[in-house]
Amino acid sequence: MAMSIAHRATGIALYAGTVLLVIWLGAAAISQQALNPVNDLYGSWFGQLVLFGYTWAILHHMLGGIRHFIWDFIIGMEPGRREALAWANLAGSIVLTLLVWTVFVWVG
């Protein structure tokens, strides 16, 4: 039940994150002067925290979708396997988020 709620919550969070992406793309399309304050906001500690959360939300939601796709084939529906897939979804989203940020933000 908790993973179902988390899947719905991340889906809702993706709407807000997509608005941030549209703002960034819109500012980039207007001019460099319009893009600078957006980059400053997104580059701040708060902006980085929000973008980190957005990255986790998109990866968690994606893995949840894959989990549901697996269940569509009646695979992993046993009680122990359902819980294992739910934990794998959570652990996978955390690991992938850290991997993405390590490769593309912290190191790059």
Give pLDDT tens digits for 42-69.
Answer: 999 999 999 999 999 999 999 999 999 9
SS3 of 103, please? helix
Q: What percent of the chain has pLDDT over 90?
A: 85
Tokens encoding 6: 């988390």
Q: Is 52 left (phi over 0), alpha (psi -120 to 50) or beta?
A: alpha
Q: Are 93 and 66 in contact (CB under 8 A)?
A: no
> How high does pLDDT run on average in the chain?
94
**Residue 50's Cα: distance from chain center in Å?**
10
